[in-house]
Amino acid sequence: MTPVELAQRKFERVNEIIAEHGREQSALIPILQEVQAEYRYLPEEILTYIATAMGLSVATVFGVATFYAQFSLEPKGKYVVRVCDGTACHVRHSMPVYQAIRSRLGLKDGRFTTPDMMFTVETVACLGACGVAPAMIINEKVYGKMTPEAACTIIDTLLYRDGDN
């Protein structure tokens, strides 16, 4: 395949998504959401492409992509672990859970994703699962009443499962 063909293939799915939602600016956020679901992040060249395809300035598209917490311009891990640090979770000691997971995965300083791209660990403002605080969510699954030990066991299970495969 020539480089041009490769590029076309890469943007093919983006074209489909844009065609589905239309080119009005009000469709921009749903388009970015769907593109991110496809690629797990928003690659820079795709943002530029979307801007051109929708007739928007690149600054507008980057402005939106960087404004919302849901969008990531960096690739994320296979498992996105989000520890809830809402008020209810915070006062029921969510931060030690977060720290324990980071230290179990060897994440230090400003790093949130493991070098093997398996795990991204971050905090989230509130999952709305305050009744089972402290809570965390891994991809779509919510885990309640976490302790540092329980959280590490769950991480270990995921590590083990993937190690097996």
Question: Is 88 among the residues that bind other proteins (CB under 8 A)?
Answer: yes
143 φ/ψ sector (left φ>0, alpha ψ -120 to 50, else beta): beta
Q: Counting contacts by CB under 8 A, is residue 138 touching other proteins? A: no
Omega before 134 within 30 of 0, i.e. cis? yes
The number of residues that bind other proteins (CB under 8 A) is 40
CB 108 within 8 A of CB 116: no
Binding mask 43-82 for other proteins (x = CB under 8 A): -----------------x--xx--xxxxx-----------
Which of 98, 112, 119, 143 touches other proteins (CB under 8 A)? 143
Question: Cα(103)–Cα(99) distance, rounded to whole angstroms?
Answer: 6
CB of residue 164 vs other proteins: minimum separation in angstroms? 23
Which residue, 43 or 96, has its beta carbon nearer to other proteins?
96
Told to check if 110 binds other proteins by CB under 8 A, we report no
User: Judged by CB, which is closer to other proteins: 84, or 113?
Assistant: 84
120-124: long-range contacts, CB 8 A cutoff, minimum separation 24: 120/76, 120/77, 120/79, 120/80, 120/81, 121/81, 121/82, 121/83, 122/80, 122/81, 122/82, 122/83, 123/82, 123/83, 123/84, 123/85, 123/94, 123/98, 124/82, 124/83, 124/84, 124/85, 124/86
Least CB distance from residue 6 to other proteins, whole Å? Answer: 30
The answer to whether 26 contacts other proteins (rule: CB under 8 A) is yes
Q: Which is nearer to other proteins, 8 or 52 (CB)?
A: 52
Q: Which residues bind other proteins (CB under 8 A)?
A: 24-30, 32-33, 60, 63-64, 67-71, 85-92, 124-133, 135, 140, 142-144
